């Protein structure tokens, strides 16, 4: 009789986290949510932090549930957002909770760093898009501010690596999450020491290099005691959640683009080699590490963050987000647009005021009701997808025939139809829980249950329901797109 394999996936997003139990039976993926919990940004002393101890505690709680139910785990894998990191002392202790990428201390950080190494040189070395919260600029800011924790840091570990360290005692640097940092050279697949030398850091501070599906270690005796489990292996999956999500794209051929649609929207293609040239520099595209040595050539776009923040302010809107999505369709189409990636939308005191201010400044009708604001957000995102996809078509080494959309944004069927209308090619949605599925499948690969990403994607495609949206109303969308571009 075939032994049941149980993979424990920890999937941490910027607003919430989950632990999922996954297994593969009769060639089909099965999954069950074990726990779900908030991931809260802590504001203190003018800074924004993540609570790493709380996240560790939630992982232990999820593992304890498995032990209490007598579930024998094959392995454990962790994926999280990118860029952020924790610093640990020589005794292994956490020196302070990690800064959140939305912390304002990195405002102007890129310009300060470019005084040390020019912008063009940094891009030529890394191929990573410029965002002020990239790890390189966070570290440079901490150094410039004489950060006391960084001055005595023995290990600097990205969030998934930090949590694996707390579970196993093994300090590693996983390839996909390292690739978000603006410190990885995609040609050598290692940290470019020129970039960190100028801020007084060493390659050895980042742990040993590991790739997706490599085993990191096993649970420490302490974690075994806390959970009631044995020495369960901890596997490096694609530590960066987008890397895990793209691993779960159920594509049948390589001529596709993908959109990971959640708090952030990440739109890109999967290539064999990094694309680093004048055009990719001009458009500020990024080359991040994928599974099996691939490169995720993509661009970050602001996503459902816009709606999430507005919902916190609305007093007259339904609590149910699906109802808000439906109500948005009662508002007049193409009334006003925003640029979702305007810096004012990064972390405003009031997102509603920021959206209304943008429309006023650009001489458009100002959206007043929650229906008008939601429709403005959805249409603007769809337009932005088209703009970025047009750039991708210039740079891609193959024709883009289809857009695969994964993540929670796929629940919004109106946005998905708008995306198809805007970009003019079919949009295929699913899986919703792409990151957790990618995490589970990479553990399955580590266990020898699947051999490569093609087999992984075949199992995923046969295990979930996919929806396809075909373009409609092309003329109206083309005309509206010209208005969007002219903004």
Residue 478 annotated as catalytic: no
What ranges make up the beta strands (E) of 39-116?
A: 42-44, 47-49, 75-79, 85-88, 94-96
Nearest to 216 by CA among 173, 261, 155: 173
* CA–CA distance, 373 with 352 (Å, rounded to integer): 8
Instruction: Bin 183: left if φ > 0, else alpha if -120 < ψ < 50, else beta.
Output: alpha
- Sort 395 into a burial class: Cβ within 10 Å, 0-12 / 13-18 / 19+: middle
Residue 134's CB: how many other CB atoms inside 10 A? 26
Angle at 275 between CA 273 and CA 281, to 5 degrees: 160
Hey, is 303 helix, strand or coil? coil
DSSP state of 345: G
Which residue's structure tokens are 């410190």? Answer: 183
Catalytic residue among 79, 147, 161, 241: 241
Hey, is 258 helix, strand or coil? strand
Angle at 160 between CA 428 and CA 197, to 5 degrees: 110
Residue 432's contacts (CB-CB under 8 Å, 6 or more residues apart) are 406, 407, 408, 410, 411
Active site residues: 241
């Amino acid at each position: 009789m075939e032994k049941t394999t149980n993979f424990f996936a920890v999937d941490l997003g910027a607003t919430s986290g989950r632990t999922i139990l996954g297994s593969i039976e009769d060639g089909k993926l099965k999954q069950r949510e074990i726990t779900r919990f908030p991931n809260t940004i802590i504001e203190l002393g003018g800074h924004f932090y993540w609570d790493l101890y709380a996240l560790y505690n939630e992982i232990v709680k999820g593992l304890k549930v498995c032990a209490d139910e007598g579930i024998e785990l094959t392995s454990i894998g962790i994926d999280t957002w990118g860029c952020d990191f924790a610093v640990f002392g020589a005794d292994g202790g956490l020196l302070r909770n990690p800064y959140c990428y939305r912390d304002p201390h990195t405002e102007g950080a890129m310009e300060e760093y470019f005084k040390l190494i020019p912008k063009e040189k940094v891009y030529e070395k890394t191929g990573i898009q410029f965002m002020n919260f990239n790890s390189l600029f966070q570290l440079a800011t901490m150094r410039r501010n004489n950060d006391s924790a960084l001055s005595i840091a023995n290990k600097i570990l990205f969030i998934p690596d930090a949590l694996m360290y707390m579970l196993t005692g093994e300090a590693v640097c996983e390839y996909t999450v390292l690739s978000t940092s603006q410190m990885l050279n995609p040609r050598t697949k290692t940290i470019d020491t020129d970039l960190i030398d100028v801020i007084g850091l060493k390659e050895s501070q980042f742990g040993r290099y590991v790739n997706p599906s490599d085993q990191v270690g096993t649970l420490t005796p302490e974690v075994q005691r806390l959970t009631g489990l044995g020495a369960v292996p901890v596997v490096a999956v694609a530590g960066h959640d987008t890397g895990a999500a793209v691993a779960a794209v159920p594509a049948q051929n390589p001529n596709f683009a993908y959109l990971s649609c959640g708090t952030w929207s990440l739109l890109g293609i999967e290539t064999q080699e990094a694309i680093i040239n004048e055009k990719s520099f001009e458009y500020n595209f990024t080359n991040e590490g994928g599974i099996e040595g691939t490169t995720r050539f993509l661009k970050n776009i602001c996503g459902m963050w816009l709606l999430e923040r507005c919902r916190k302010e609305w007093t007259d809107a339904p609590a149910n987000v699906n109802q808000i999505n439906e109500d948005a369709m009662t508002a007049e189409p193409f009334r006003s647009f925003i640029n979702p990636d305007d810096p004012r939308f990064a972390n405003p005191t009031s997102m509603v005021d920021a959206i209304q201010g943008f429309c006023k400044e650009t001489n458009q009708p100002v959206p007043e009701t929650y229906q008008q604001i939601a429709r403005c957000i959805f249409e603007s995102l769809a337009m932005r997808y088209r703009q970025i996809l047009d750039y991708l078509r210039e740079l891609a080494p193959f024709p883009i025939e289809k857009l695969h959309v994964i993540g929670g944004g796929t629940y919004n069927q109106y946005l998905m139809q708008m995306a198809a209308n805007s970009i003019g090619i079919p949009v295929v949605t699913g899986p919703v829980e792409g990151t957790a599925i990618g995490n589970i499948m990479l553990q399955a690969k580590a266990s020898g249950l699947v051999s490569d990403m093609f087999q992984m994607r075949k199992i995923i495609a046969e295990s979930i329901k996919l929806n396809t949206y075909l373009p409609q109303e092309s003329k109206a969308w083309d005309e509206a797109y010209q208005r969007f571009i002219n903004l």
